Amino acid sequence: MVQEVRHLFFTTKEVIDALDGFRARHKEFLPAGVIRLKGVAKDGSVRVEIDMSYGVRSQRGSFDIASNDVLRSLICACSDLGIPLPREGKKSLAGSVAGVVLKVRVDLAAFAEGNDVSLDAFEHATPLEKAS
């Protein structure tokens, strides 16, 4: 099966920006405050610390964010940045020391089904004809 695979790398700052943007849309996602990324797991889940201020009182809290929530945050960030993602693409995450990788896989055979594409001429072409 032929697949298209894209890897989009998000730095630590870009992951924080994505989480912050997602939090702005979904107030219940994380408490208000300054987010600091403390660690990234292999599956793309992250641990953050948030400095929360309540008037004169401040508090620091640690939160583990599941890979599914990180994925939703990065998809929203892609939309905000104008980075197109195929709706039918299978999306997954991988963590790295320097950030998070968003992987997008699309089964190209699904696109060919039902389309009026004939490969007969290509299958019978000589190597020189195929190259041109």
101/40 Cα distance (integer angstroms): 11
Report pLDDT digits (tens) over 54-104: 878 889 999 999 999 999 999 999 999 999 999 889 999 999 889 999 999
Q: CB burial class (10 A; 0-12, 13-18, 19+) of residue 63?
A: middle
pTM, entire model? 0.78
